[in-house]
Amino acid sequence: MKAQVLIRPKAGILDPQGIAVEQALPALGFGGVSNVRVGRLVELDVEDPEQLDAMCQKLLANPLIEDYEVLTSS
C-alpha cells in the first residue's frame, strides 16, 4: 500500500520557514498571500498500514511540535 504522511508545525508554533516564504512571494509579484506554513511530506510503501501511526509517533513526526496526517491509497 502506498502512503503519504503530511507533517505540519503545530498551530501556534512560530514557523520561520513559512514567514520566509510569505515574505518572498510579494517580492515576486504574488500578492494576497497569508498564513504560509511549511511542513514535510513523507511518501512510503507499507505492507501493514496499521503500523503507520506508530511510525509517525516514534520517528516521522515529533508530536510535541508537529501534527501529522496519514493518507493511504492502494
Partner 1 sequence: MRFGVVQFPGSCDERDALAACETVDGAEAVILWHRDADLKDVDAIVVPGGFSFGDYLRVGAIAQFSPVMAAVIAFANNGGPVVGICNGFQVLCETGLLPGALLPNERRRFICRQVDVEVCSTETPFTRACTAGDVLSIPSKHQTGRYYAPEALLEQMEADGQVVFRYANDSNPNGSLNDIAGVCNTARNVVGLMPHPEHAVDARTGSDDALALFASLAQGLTHV
**Residues within the interface to partner 1 (CB under 8 A):** 13-14, 16-17, 19-20, 40, 59-60, 62, 64-65
Q: Least distance to partner 1 from the beta carbon of 52, Å?
A: 16
Q: Round to whole Å and give the CA distance between 30 and 15.
A: 20
CB of 50 to partner 1, least distance (A): 21
Is residue 42 within 8 A of residue 4, CB to CB? The reply is yes
d(CA 44, CA 52): 10
Taking the least distance from each CB to partner 1, the nearer of 23 and 72 is 23
Residue (12 or 32) nearer to partner 1, CB: 12
Q: How far is the CB of 11 from partner 1 (least distance, A)?
A: 12
